[in-house]
Amino acid sequence: MPVRLSLGSEQPTQATVVIADWTMLERLRRGAMVLGLAWGAAGFSIVIPVLHFVLPPILLLLGPILFVWRVLTRSSFKECTGPCPRCKTERTMTMGGKVEPETNVFCDGCGNQLTLKLQS
């Protein structure tokens, strides 16, 4: 999918992004994994002095919230390939997160935060 990368006063560049469309089974698997990790961390944190009063309840509540969030995410960004507006070098930048019309990505070369805008 074509996108535009921009950075302040630099000339915007054209790039492409790869978007992962998740099936319901994959979304459930991703949700179950995050739920298991949160609840496993809650069980492990019981043995940590002082933190065992706060951490397990937070993780037990956070697990189902993250599960629902993962299940409701139908697609997400995987990577962006294109020239950075600042360093002008062709790069493949890994990214994640929900597909939105405008998001941020970091250049691996110069470290600048670029604005990624989807083009229709």
pLDDT tens for each residue of 45-98: 999 999 989 999 999 999 999 999 999 999 999 989 999 888 888 988 888 888
Listed by start position, the domains of the chain span: 1-22+79-120, 23-72
The three-class DSSP label of residue 23 is coil
Please give the model's pTM, rounded to 2 decimal places. 0.74
**Cα separation, 120 vs 116, whole angstroms:** 13
Q: How many CA atoms lie within 13 A of 90 on its CB side?
A: 1
Mean pLDDT of 97-108: 87
CA nearest neighbour of 104 among 20, 17, 9: 17
| Whole-number pLDDT of residue 100 | 87
DSSP 79-108: EEEEE-TTT--EEEEE--SB--SEEEEE-T
| Strand ranges of the sheet holding 102-106, from the earlier edge strand across to the other edge | 90-94, 75-83, 13-21, 2-6, 113-118, 102-106
Please state, rounded to an integer, the average pLDDT across all residues of the chain. 91
